[in-house]
Structure 1
């Protein structure tokens, strides 16, 4: 508690809401941000703000996947180089699509990818479906790794502040990704 400037006292237990969505607004995440992250930020209602949020939250994960799909189609890597008006529409690839695609339990896990891509007016090949599933996994895994590394840094700082060898801590989590992602 002595490290929290807003509080009197220096002992006891404390619940801290990190509210870390704005982490990186000072440029601290520039080495990790991609061109797609910058595009999301530029098209947002609050450019230059909430940069970490735009990399990890359910509000933006679907759009990250959509922009990757568009880029790969334009680079002739997916969908025979074709895009559709639906695919080019901001917000048309929801984070729920990611959850659905990653939850798919069919033999190859591609039925949901195909259904989602067809709903966007595309005529995907099996390779397109597999790539889309992999892109969803990569975006989800990146978000999880960013959250985990940030939590580890906070816990390490708390441990170091206490000069403790071990630290007992409870982490509370909320949000659509935590509640709905299959993994």
Structure 2
């Protein structure tokens, strides 16, 4: 077997390898339901105990605070699964990120006031209810309360750590004379599940598959032994599956291990490092450099010499993989375009282009297969276990948001094909994979509505 073929084969997963992922993640999901170890961040209760029906109506505010931008939105729930969204996006400056908490939350209030001028609503004397998507670590104690643990992403705010986010926001609104009540604080994955359930009531799982990856699902409350809140029948859990994945069951190659070893936190988020958009391109780059040095590819044009432009970490973007795989023609001319434009490599042979295409395909296929395995595990959990899944006849929808799922060629079809292998045709025929959007804003507004009406505690 050639060096190239042996390398390629490392990314082609067997049925046994897929089953090991299913079994391993099942064990971690179950462990996360009961663990009180503060280092284990998986299976976080959201305090949301029901999903929308799709018939809800009303106007709710939402903010989605990330590392770069703040999005403010007025979400009109129109019933029949329909929404109208008025949104503004504001860049969070470095000055704000490193200033006082008071300045940050005054600015958030000002951004909210700007939105309210645009939507022109009759507020009267009533409070406006807001849902908040907060992309930073919180110790959540209720559906609308959580203490800020750490922020990162360039933030260094004074007088914020350890304080309750609801209090910080509402104090800022009060200083600006805005009658806004924070009714819900959520994670973006929970928002994806809730917002897609409004459109497709059969939704039981929400997934983010973009730069990073995560998932949320509905679990029977009796299974969540670490939850000590008010009694309920079910609970949406933020799985934090990005933090799952033990080397004992993941099919890691030497390239995956290299990525993990040089990451900020080695041994953490191994699953995410094998499947998400932040890492797929880097996996390909490491493999390609190895193949070039072994003269297993590009021999006639490079003769074992790696171009300088390919040497820096993250130099090969996952977007390049998407461009290459979008051209499935026999001559794979998109390979020429990517390598000539971005790396100054030309005069590739037909064999070289085919090798590049096949390698890109294998890495993308592995990501889809591993994500499908994780989804299969949650399908079992969300439907009461593998035995009960046979008895479930209704459709179960998985709402998936993110650039990898939306834009990587044929990704949803690859996932569905792998799910069929794992579940069998009969079970898989009852599963739908659907693109979900606007989870951060619509999802937050919907949870605010659910909370206000007593559906979340």
Output the TM-score relative to the length of structure 1: 0.87
Aligned partners of 2:281 and 2:317 also within 8 Å: yes
- SS of the residue 1:173 aligns to: strand
Runs of 4+ in 1 over 3 A off after TM superposition: 7-10, 14-17, 26-30, 157-163
**CA displacement at 1:63 relative to structure 2:** 0.4
Unpaired runs of 5+ residues, structure 2, are 1-219, 411-457
The CA deviation string for residues 41-84 of structure 1, in whole angstroms up to 9 with x for no partner, is 11222221111000000000000111111111111101112311
Aligned to 2:404: 177
Tell me, what secondary structure is at the counterpart of 2:352?
A: helix
Secondary structure at the counterpart of residue 154 of structure 1: helix
CA contact (8 A) 2:244 2:270 kept: yes
Residue number among 392, 399, 404 corresponding to 1:166 in the alignment:
392
The answer as to whether partners of 2:331 and 2:350 remain within 8 angstroms in 1 is no
Residue 122 of structure 1, CA deviation: 2.1
- Match for residue 41 of structure 1 among 250, 260, 265: 260
Give the CA deviation at 1:162.
Answer: 8.8
Deviation at 1:160, TM superposition (A): 4.2
What's the RMSD between the two structures over aligned residues? 2.2
- Matched residue pairs, number? 179
TM-score, normalization: structure 2? 0.37
| Between structures 1 and 2, the one with greater strand share | 2
- 1:148–1:162 distance in 2 versus 1, CA, 3 Å: closer
- Candidates 372, 375, 378, aligned match of 1:148: 372
Q: How far 1:179 moved relative to its partner?
A: 2.0
Distance 2:314 2:276 in 1: 14
Q: Taking structure 1 as reference, are residues 95 and 162 closer, same or farther at Cα in structure 2, changes over 3 Å only?
A: closer
Q: Helix, strand or coil for the counterpart of 1:170?
A: strand
- Please list, as runs of the form range in 1=range in 2, the aligned pairs for 1:1-183 lying within 5 A after superposition: 1=220, 2-4=222-224, 5-6=226-227, 8-9=230-231, 11-12=233-234, 14-24=235-245, 26-30=246-250, 32-80=251-299, 81-104=304-327, 107-108=329-330, 110-118=332-340, 119-123=342-346, 124-161=348-385, 164=388, 165-166=391-392, 168-183=395-410
**1:101, 1:109 within 8 Å by CA — same for their partners in 2?**
no
Structure with greater proportional helix content:
1
CA contact (8 A) 2:276 2:404 kept: yes
Q: Could you say which residue in structure 1 is the equivalent of 2:77? A: none
- Higher alpha-carbon Rg: 2
Which protein has greater RCO, CA pairs closer than 8 Å, 6+ apart? Answer: 2
Deviation of 1:128 after TM superposition, in Å, equals 1.2
Whether the 8 Å CA contact 1:74–1:82 is kept in 2: the answer is yes
Unaligned 5+ residue runs, structure 1?
none
